[in-house]
Amino acid sequence: SVRLSQPYKEYSAIALMAETIAMFEFKRANLDNALEYFNQALHAKKSYQGDSTIDVARTVNNLANIHFSLGNLDDAMKLYQDALEIKRLCLGNDSDEVANTLNNIAHVMVTAGKEQEALQAYHNVVRIRQDRYGKNHSSVATTLASMGDVYIKLGKLEIAMTYFEQCIRIQKLNQEHCDERVLENLASIYGKLGEWHKAESAFKEIVQLKRSVQGEDSLEVAKSLDLLAVSYIEQDRCVDSIEHLKEALRIRKACLSGEDGEILASLNKLAFVYKSCEMTTEMMDVKAEFDRIQKNEK
């Protein structure tokens, strides 16, 4: 068996203890403390391992994560690039850890407003993950969604839409829960592009997903029901929107106090649709309820 020298053992113990404390502080969001202990761990590791081991690279990556969380983008970028260089040296250009660090670099680029550089990094992440896991792996879907986010920032909605659609297709193929945020982005893009039938389908999925995760009477469900109703209205199907607006109103009444502004807004939307459908009696009933609540507030 290999016998370790006393300094090696000491530095190893220091690194392990410092990194354990750093991770604990990071989870508690004590970022300055985490930064101090990760630096101690890195110094100890370099003292007994050298500068270019995979263990050193992982600690450098953790340091970069802290700087990114603190908003120190230049420091984070330099550390991620250092970690990337070591990982490529130790593991090759196409390892999963290389892809993960490239993904982190892309996040920094997006935050710094360097969208084109971010897209280049994300493309490399997709290529590595597709080669390692196949084109329909969940990690590929996650990266495609991130690329869609970048294209939204660039105002290229049609391209963003294709990436979000690919993400959702993969998630459905793998029988995974569709990403709620991606579905919401897709529905919004469909609406902006005037593809309201597609928006309707997406909002229906969002409502179903939110009900399964958050419960039937969640305020988030009510918000999505409102948007689903809008998709009907935009297709000149005002009557079909009514049941969803009524359900959204019911949820808000169940969750909020009677005088809450959201309830008043919900009543206002319902009155508008009743008026558009020439349902005068229903409109007057809703308006009377609206006026009664406003009077009670005074």
DSSP symbol at 154: T
Query: How far is Cα 13 from Cα 217, in angstroms, rounded to an integer?
Result: 52
Our separate counts of H helices and E strands in the chain read 14, 0
Backbone angles phi, psi at 208, to 5 degrees: -60, -40
- How far apart, in Å, are the Cα atoms of 60 and each of 11, 67, 79, 181? 17, 11, 6, 31
Q: Do the Cβ atoms of 290 and 274 come closer than 8 Å?
A: no
Buried b (16+ CB within 10 A) or exposed e, 219-252: bbbbbbbbbbbbbbbbeeebeebbebbbbbbebb
Picking from 269, 208, 187, 282, the residue whose alpha carbon sits closest to that of residue 233 is 269
DSSP symbol at 218: -
Q: What's residue 233's pLDDT? A: 96
Amino acid in the structure at residue 19: E
Q: What's residue 4's pLDDT? A: 37
Query: How far is Cα 82 from Cα 260, in angstroms, rounded to an integer?
Result: 53
Residue recorded with tokens 């409502």: 207
Q: What's residue 9's pLDDT? A: 65
Q: Tens digit of pLDDT per residue, the chain (298 long)? A: 334 345 556 778 888 899 999 999 999 999 999 999 999 999 999 988 899 999 999 999 999 999 999 999 999 999 999 999 999 999 999 999 999 999 999 999 999 999 999 999 999 999 999 999 999 999 999 999 999 999 999 999 999 999 999 999 999 999 998 999 999 999 999 999 999 999 999 999 999 999 999 999 999 999 999 999 999 999 999 999 999 999 999 999 999 976 689 999 999 999 999 999 999 999 999 999 999 988 876 5
